[in-house]
Amino acid sequence: MTNSQVKGLSKCGTEMPWRPIVQQEKKIEIALFRLGTIAPIVYGEYLQRGDKEALIRSLTEQKVRIPYSLRSRLARSTIMEWASMYEQSGRRLQSLFPRDRSDRGVPRSIRAEEKNTLLDYLERNPTTFACRAYRNLFEQGIMSSRLSPSSLSRILKAEKMTRRDRLERLKAKQLTEAVQLPRNEYEWGLWMLRLLQGKVDRKNIQGRLKGKLGETEIDLLLSCIKEKPRMYRNRAMAVVASLCGIPTATVVSFLCMSRSGVGGILERSQTSALSCLLGFERDRKRKYEDQSCIDAVFRILHAPPSDYGINRTTWKLDDIHRVMCEMGLPIWKHGITLIIRNAGYTFTKAKKVLTSNDPNYREKLSAITRILADLGPDEKFFSIDEFGPFSVKMQGGKSLMPKGQRRTVPQWQRSKGQLLITAALELSTNQITHFYSTKKNTGEMIKMLMKLLRQYPDEKTIYISWDAASWHVSKALKETVDEINNTEERRSGKSPLVKLTP
């Protein structure tokens, strides 16, 4: 590279001062790459034509890393164009700079007329989202250009028309301008919207309604607009708007009401007090609060349906409603439901409780309860019972299966054996002791008793409770318990005392 070219590089930053430095550095990097590519061709003055063509062919066939590009190969026409531009400029490096786009800063995806239409629409509707505004204009046929969200966002940012910018301008306008009555229908609607949102100063409204209403009535209207349900809010809005001079047609359009409805509200406001127009208290009780209806409903429920000519054993809501109408107390079905619920009645599932045919059941239950209440730390209470015998068969239930397959269980299957489990549940610690066997008899109960003695040798007393099965009250079992309690080990305190509870 010649000295003049180096001087040209040092002046690149001063020839175009409006370009950012980063952009200028990218151009220099690209120009140096292009110069390095065409240097063998431009400076190879003594190359024959065949050698030059071979050199160009080799450049087009090899892969190269092009700065700021995803391509890796160069076309012959591109190389020849770079060499021609370099020669025609007197071998100046600036001739190899990439050219700027002629339409830089001008959106190509939308025409200027459509762009202005979109911006005007957003200016008139500052709270509308840009995507929704573009979709509305496109569906109406006003705009035909298709914009991606990124292109739309880029245009709005360049014009400072994003929703945040528009809302900030709207807020600044509302803060700087005094609250005053609008002059056209659009401004009337905007003023009423601000009033509905509580953005109109209370003192301003009181000043405009002064002499027409008292301060108490003005406060009642404004609190109703801010806090009450829609029906009363619309009434208050209609009264305030009318007294402020807003046309009735604008009020009808804003509140989405009929002209006769708004006219009736205004007529009532002139002939009666505002408290009656905006009142919430009912003049009479609802039927489900009427004591005569409540008494009639429960009088019907406490009588069988056959007393009222209904061939049923239980009541239905339709039947109660029909009987109430026949008694001269018409009430809707939901009112009957409210009467029953307000009285505290609910639907509950019946609870199954354990019962016994033992005449001494209560005495035995009291004895067990008393023992459990006074149970010491060195005493244990066991409830013993058996489950079975049951057959060992394939059972149903959920299984982890591959897709398309389903586990099946035969309805009739041969048993693989029988089992019986004998278990003792310790009620104070909720611990269980169990073993499997094949039969129920006194021997198995003695086996469980010995297992408990081995498992709890340090306890002072062991209480045993079971049902009245024959092997639980056998003579051999009682003799075994007496023998355990009378042994030398029991008297020396090395084994617990066994007590059979009733």
6 has pLDDT over 50? no
Residues 163 and 228 in one domain: no
Q: Residue range 164-188: average pLDDT?
A: 69
Q: Do 375 and 475 fall into the same domain?
A: yes
Which spans in 197-332 are helix H? 202-208, 215-227, 230-243, 248-255, 259-271, 274-277, 291-301, 317-326
- Give all strands of the β-sheet with 379-391 in edge-to-edge order: 431-437, 418-426, 379-391, 461-465, 497-500
Say yes or no: 378 and 475 in one domain: yes
- Residue 372: inside a domain: yes
Closest CA relative to residue 21, chosen from 29, 13, 9, 30: 13
Percent of all residues in the chain with a pLDDT value above 90, rounded to a whole number:
12
Q: What is the pLDDT of residues 22-33, one digit of tens each?
A: 578 888 888 888
Tens of pLDDT, residue by residue over 277-295, are: 676 555 557 888 888 999 9
Same domain, 327 and 219: no
Nearest CA to 42 out of 94, 98, 7, 88 is that of 88
Q: Decide if pLDDT at 273 tops 60.
A: yes
Tokens found for residue 41? 């061709």
The average pLDDT across 178-197 equals: 72
Q: Are residues 218 and 160 in the same domain?
A: no
User: Are both 301 and 322 inside the same structural domain?
Assistant: yes
Inside any domain, residue 399: no
Identify the three-state secondary structure at position 354.
coil
> Are 384 and 443 within one domain?
yes
Query: With 80 as the cut, is the pLDDT of residue 249 above it?
Result: yes
Range of the domain at 321: 291-343
Q: What is the DSSP letter of 209?
A: S
Average pLDDT for residues 209-224, to the nearest whole number?
81
Q: Is residue 171 part of a domain?
A: yes
pLDDT at 34 over 70: yes
> What does DSSP say about strands 461-465 and 379-391: parallel, antiparallel, or unpaired?
parallel
Lowest mean pLDDT among 347-351, 414-418, 467-471, 488-492: 488-492
88 and 128 housed in the same domain: no
Residue that is last in its domain, among 96, 130, 146: 96
- 7: pLDDT strictly greater than 60: no
Upper half-sphere CA count for residue 322 (Cβ side, 13 Å): 9
Q: What is the average pLDDT value for the chain, to the nearest integer?
A: 82
Q: What is the pLDDT of residues 115-145, one digit of tens each?
A: 888 888 888 888 888 888 888 888 888 888 8
Structural domain includes residue 107 = no
| One domain, residues 271 and 297 | no
- Residue whose tokens read 């051999």: 476
Are 376 and 458 found together in one domain? yes
Higher pLDDT: 46 or 383? It is: 383
Within-domain flag for 199: yes
pLDDT of amino acid 469: 84
Domain count, the chain: 5
Q: What is the pLDDT of residues 86-113, one digit of tens each?
A: 888 888 888 888 877 655 555 667 788 8
- Whether the per-residue pLDDT at 173 is higher than 90: the answer is no
Q: Which of 6-10, 33-37, 206-210, 322-326 has the highest mean predicted lDDT (pLDDT)?
A: 322-326
Compute the average pLDDT of residues 433-449.
89
Question: Is residue 366 located within the same domain as residue 485?
Answer: yes
Which phi and psi angles does 500 have, rounded to 5°?
-95, 120
pLDDT at 136: 85
375 is a domain residue: yes
pLDDT of residue 299: 92
Rounded to two decimals, what is the model's pTM?
A: 0.35
245 & 328 share domain? no
**pLDDT of residue 195 exceeding 60:** yes
Q: What is the mean pLDDT of residues 411-417?
A: 87
Residue 407 lies in a domain: no
In-domain check, residue 455: yes
